[in-house]
């Protein structure tokens, strides 16, 4: 699956009318269960060290490939130099997102001399064929820029593997690729790594969120949408934003005990920040066999310090064949940085979501939300 840039919990009772419910696996919305079943087979590489071989794709100056035609710049990149940048910047980003559960490791791989007509996949195919048996994935970087209308890169979680402990990239084709733009000398010692972080997300099985019909990334709330959103606010930023609770759940970094399933009648829940290491961090609401809502508290700090204020984010998740087709943000307008505040309500998917209270800072923040059925206008 390649994408271009593709136990019980006790719920705390809130205000009057809320009920305390034990959430079991069977009670989660059916499409979320479908996602979790597919994701379970991938969690052998979402925990502990995840080894990537770094390869450089040398593009001929006279390349006729659509991705490179007419781009004259070629950078003097080496696998060791690129691996050093990725280990210095991308690895700590994912250590933080996973609360230390996931640690990508980038090792120097090799170099591919591409043919005149070769597109990026040809470089990836050769790198995968040459990768060692202990390599989980390949990360390739071209020494050339892309055309202005071309995507910056792409990533793939690859094919399922029968070995549940570890599986080499030669069996899965798990890989990521980006062009040279983020390695220009003009960036100095701190290159922007948000695109690389986005593509690594695809190798974890994460799909895009906040995508418009034409493929543009609209949301500032997720590294799997507009990964450059923090830099749009602060030019010194080099990492992408945080990721949604759904992605953490699929990676196994968020336990089921952190998920609250809304009852069919009125229910109230107190949410800890999505990025916290404990507490109820996401509420889910069933819509139909292919859709559900996620409701989470995002705080304007850490990787999300580009957001104007803390608040509640709501996404409508569409699922088909065990794959997220889109997680569409529903609060406000693009870039969806203005979240639901205390006293605000949102009606979506036949449900009414109201923010009752909110307070605290950082990981100590706690916001209370009431969810009840509602007929949409």
- C-alpha distances (whole Å) from 168 to each of 2, 75, 138, 156, 164 are 17, 30, 10, 14, 11
Neighbours of 346 (CB within 10 A): 18
Task: Check pLDDT > 80 for residue 24.
Answer: no
Q: Where are the alpha helices (DSSP H) in 194-343?
A: 194-203, 229-233, 245-251
pLDDT of residue 273: 97
Closest to 204 in 3D by CA, of 328, 90, 123: 90
- Cα distance between residue 259 and residue 244, in whole Å: 13
Task: Check pLDDT > 70 for residue 323.
Answer: yes
pLDDT of residue 203: 97
Domain locations in the chain as residue ranges: 2-41+245-373, 48-204
Query: Considering the entire predicted model, what is its pTM?
Result: 0.91
Average pLDDT over residues 115-143: 95
- The dotted CATH code for 48-204 is 3.40.390
Which of 13-27, 99-113, 216-230 has the least mean pLDDT?
Answer: 13-27
pLDDT of residue 190: 87
Task: Check pLDDT > 90 for residue 331.
Answer: yes
* Band (3; pLDDT cuts 50, 70, 90): low
CB 18 within 8 A of CB 74: no
- Cα distance between residue 222 and residue 243, in whole Å: 4
- Cα distance between residue 280 and residue 18, in whole Å: 15
Average pLDDT over residues 148-171: 86
């Amino acid at each position: 699956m390649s994408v271009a840039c593709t136990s019980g919990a006790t719920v705390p009772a809130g205000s009057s009318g809320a009920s305390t419910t034990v959430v079991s696996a069977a009670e989660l919305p059916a499409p979320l269960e479908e996602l979790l079943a597919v994701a379970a087979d991938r969690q052998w590489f979402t925990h502990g060290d995840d080894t990537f071989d770094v390869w450089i794709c040398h593009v001929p100056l006279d390349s006729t490939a659509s991705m490179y035609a007419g781009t004259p710049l070629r950078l003097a990149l080496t696998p060791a130099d690129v691996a050093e940048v990725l280990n210095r910047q991308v690895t700590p980003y994912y250590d933080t997102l996973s609360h230390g559960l996931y640690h990508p490791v980038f090792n120097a791989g090799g170099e591919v001399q591409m043919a005149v007509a070769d597109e990026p996949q040809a470089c990836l195919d050769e790198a995968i064929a040459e990768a060692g048996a202990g390599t989980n994935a390949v990360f390739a970087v071209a020494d050339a820029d892309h055309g202005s209308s071309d995507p910056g890169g792409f990533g793939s979680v690859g094919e399922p593997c029968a070995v549940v402990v570890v599986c080499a990239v030669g069996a899965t084709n798990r890989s990521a690729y980006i062009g040279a733009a983020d390695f220009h000398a003009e960036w100095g010692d701190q290159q922007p790594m948000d695109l690389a972080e986005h593509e690594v997300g695809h190798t974890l099985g994460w799909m895009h969120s906040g995508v418009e019909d034409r493929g543009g990334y609209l949301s500032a709330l997720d590294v799997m949408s507009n990964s450059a959103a923090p830099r749009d606010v602060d030019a010194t930023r080099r990492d992408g934003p945080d990721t949604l609770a759904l992605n953490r759940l699929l990676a196994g970094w968020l336990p089921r005990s952190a998920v609250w399933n809304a009852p069919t009648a009125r229910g109230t829940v107190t949410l800890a920040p999505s990025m916290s290491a404990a507490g109820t961090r996401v509420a889910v609401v069933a819509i139909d066999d292919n859709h559900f809502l996620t409701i989470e508290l995002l705080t304007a700090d850490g990787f999300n310090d580009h957001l104007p204020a803390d608040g509640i984010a709501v996404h409508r998740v569409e699922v088909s064949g065990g794959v997220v087709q889109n997680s569409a943000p529903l609060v406000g307008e693009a870039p969806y940085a203005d979240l639901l505040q205390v006293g605000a309500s949102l009606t979506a998917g036949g449900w009414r979501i109201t923010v009752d209270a909110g307070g605290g800072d950082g990981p100590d923040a706690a916001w209370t939300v009431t969810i009840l059925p509602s007929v949409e206008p």
